Amino acid sequence: MGIIVNLDVMLARRKMSLTELSERVGITMANLSVLKTGKAKAIRFSTLDAICKELNCQPGDILEFQTTSAQAS
């Protein structure tokens, strides 16, 4: 998969738990966990907006594109 989710990195930088982020943005722990583990197939802009506002970061701080060797060839 080319998209890497760095939510755990941003949470660590902000010294915030997934539970605390869930409570602050009103997104279930289950949905944040799916996103954090990279198993999400999509993310709503409203969800990304809420997370970025709470973590005081840019979408690119959370989502990263990496080419894999299969894609590069």
Could you tell me the pTM of the whole model? 0.85
Does 73 have pLDDT greater than 50?
Answer: no
What confidence tens digit (pLDDT) does each residue in 18-65 have?
Answer: 999 999 999 999 999 999 999 999 999 999 999 999 999 999 999 999
| CATH number for the domain formed by residue range(s) 3-72 | 1.10.260.40
The reported pLDDT for the residue numbered 1 is: 58
Q: Domain residues of the chain, as ranges?
A: 3-72
Instruction: Tell me the pLDDT band of 67, cut-offs 50, 70 and 90.
Output: confident
Amino acid at 55: L
pLDDT band at 5 (very low <50, low <70, confident <90, very high): very high
